Amino acid sequence: MLKSLKRWLTDPAFSRKKQFLHSLELFSDLKGGEMGALVHALHARTYRPGEVIFVEGDIGRALFIMESGKVELTRAGADGKPVLLYTLKPGEFFGEMALLESLPRSATATAVETTRLHLLYRTKLDALLHSEPRIGVSIMSHLARLLSARLRRVSGELAGVPASRG
């Protein structure tokens, strides 16, 4: 058991993933052992160019953290054609609302190029909340600040819109 734990802790891929995650603001407060628990909770997946990650209307079950590649978020326009909302780059994450509620996705996510993502499923976060409460509290605190900033930005944008457009 101790031998396999030592091999796991000295594994270069594990160390690289830990270093990458620690560079993200979402996980910057986590300590060594907590980061190790988080790394074990994540599921890594590589998506091919053009591969759909999730579709608008799907029930969200995971947060996606981008290590490499490019992802486009689109939403169906009034004419049914996709409208580009945002293009994500490495180090960004998306799908965070799935960690808070089980509602349909508000957009479609598609890999534009070969993309490496780390998925944090809601069930894994719930397990971390019970076994390592500080990890869950740290993640939820960062998400709350992120969502608050987005709400302030959208509120400001809406305040600048003429009332007749309502």
Q: Any idea what the CATH number is for the domain that residue 148 is in?
A: 2.60.120.10
Q: How many domains does the chain have?
A: 1
Q: How much of the chain exceeds pLDDT 70, in percent? A: 90
CA 2 to chain centre: 32
Digit-coded pLDDT (tens) for 90-143: 999 999 888 788 888 999 999 999 999 999 999 998 898 888 888 888 888 888
Answer whether residue 109 is part of any domain.
yes
pLDDT bin (cut points 50, 70, 90) of residue 44 is very high
pLDDT at residue 6, rounded to an integer: 53
Whether 118 maps to a domain, the answer reads yes
pLDDT score recorded for residue 10: 62
- What pTM value is reported for the model? 0.81
Q: Is residue 166 part of a domain?
A: no
In a domain, 165, yes or no: no
Residue 19's domain comprises 2-160
For residue 82, give every residue at least 6 positions away whose Cβ sits within 8 Å of its Cβ, in sequence order, or none: 74, 75, 76, 108
DSSP E strands: which ranges in 1-155? 43-47, 52-54, 62-68, 71-76, 82-88, 93-94, 108-111, 115-121
> What tens digit of pLDDT does each residue of 6-16 get?
555 567 778 88
Show the tokens assigned to 8: 């796991």
Phi, psi of 56 (to 5 degrees): -50, 130
Amino acid, single-letter form, for residue 127: A
